[in-house]
Amino acid sequence: MFTNSENLTRKDIDTYRETSDEKVKQLIEEKSLGSDFDSDALEGWANSSIGTKRMKLIDDNFIGKGRNLNLKIISGIIVFTILITFFLLYNNSTYIKSKKVNSTQGSVIYEKTDIITPDEIELMVEIPIKEQIKITTIQKDFKIQKTDEISSNEVKEPIIVDRIETSKIVQQKNDDNQSEIELVKNQSLGKEIYLIEMKLVDYRLYRSKPTVKTKTIELNNTPASQEDKFSKEEDVSNWRVTEIPYIEYLEKTMSLFSKGNYKKALSRFEIILESYPKDINANFYGGLCYFNLGEFEKAIQTFETSIESEFSNFNEESEWYLAKSYSANGQEDKASSLFKKINKNGGYYSKQALKYLK
């Protein structure tokens, strides 16, 4: 019956300590019975020699800090909101500017492979995923080999590796004591560049202003997603020959390849080979596309072309995937012979080749 919903105030406590009126004290005691905390507080202050005015120091300390913290939080939110707003407005204006650069009066310029995939490539069918050469495997292999050559704290994108060397391939004898000529010319290790964690020869250092000749078309507000509506016969008069910087064209192609879009990537590698038939980048990665698309004969041809290139940067990888292509194509004798050679050379794929042989 003494329960009271009101809490004690500091004034109640001070009055209780200072008054000699028992009735007043009794009323304050009854008020404190509604809360164990209030009862303990009243008893503690009654036995204390100081008054509640000393609490003012604590008030100033904690409430002041709380106000400062609230101000900091509010200020932070305001600054963050301003920055986000500026970022969105800036990016939106940049996007609009880029649209203006790539379009003329509502029209957009597309590269041929953005719209049309050659019929012979479009009809290819990917082999089961578990049998494909995985992008992550290629990236991992290159990463391990790259780490052996460059310390991790020197790695930056894009990475250029200066490895100019010359190696002469000489006549050798195989296990059957038959002469075997691997290559009939000298090769050199060219400078490398890594894009999306995959190795490439940097042809900008060996070609004067390298460009890729391709065809482009200007379409009026027609998204590339509607590519199935276009007819090569209808649009042939509108296509125009355009030269695109080699590295720019290659970078987009490697991006498509890294995403597993093998048909689009292969179409672009073929465009590169029209300009540079011996391009080792297009041959090697084009061979990987052919393999994953089940075209093992063509994969074999491109890997062999890679090995015969003026640059030996992909020799080890090309031999490895050439052996796998022989095996996938049912040419087990050639596959076994090449796996033996790879294992004997003791290179990066030596142990993997031994597993295949076993």
Q: Is the dihedral of CA 341, 343, 349, 355 positive or negative?
A: positive
pLDDT of residue 179: 40
Average pLDDT over residues 344-354: 94
Q: Is 295 exposed, middle or buried (0-12, 13-18, 19+ CB in 10 A)?
A: buried
**Average pLDDT in the 293-318 region?**
96
Nearest 5°: the CA angle 330, 318, 116 is 85
pLDDT computed for residue 68 by the predictor: 65
H/E segment holding residue 102: helix 55-102
Q: Which pTM was predicted?
A: 0.62
Model confidence band, residue 15 (pLDDT cutoffs 50, 70, 90): confident
Give the single-character DSSP code of 133: -
Output 31 or 249, whichever has higher pLDDT. Answer: 249
φ, ψ (nearest 5 deg) of residue 49: -95, 0
Residue 43 backbone dihedrals phi, psi, to 5 degrees: -65, -40
Prior bond of 118 cis (ω within 30°): no
Tens of pLDDT, residue by residue over 206-250, are 999 899 999 998 877 655 555 444 544 445 568 899 999 999 999
| pLDDT exceeds 70 at position 169 | no
Lowest mean pLDDT among 63-72, 197-206, 240-249: 63-72
Residue 311 has what DSSP assignment? B
More confident residue, 104 or 250: 250
Angle between helices 22-32 and 36-46 (to 10 degrees): 140
**Interatomic CA distance for residues 284 and 279, integer angstroms:** 9
SS3 193: strand
Most confident of 50-54, 96-100, 159-163, 189-193: 189-193
Distance, CA of 263 to chain centre? 21
Interatomic CA distance for residues 76 and 84, integer angstroms: 12
Burial classification of residue 97, based on how many CB atoms lie within 10 Å of its CB (0-12 exposed, 13-18 middle, 19 or more buried): exposed
Torsion of CA 249, 250, 254, 257, to 10 degrees: 70
Strand segments, DSSP code E, in the chain are 103-104, 107-111, 159-161, 165-168, 171-173, 179-181, 186-189, 192-195, 198-201, 211-220, 240-245
| pLDDT for 3 | 52
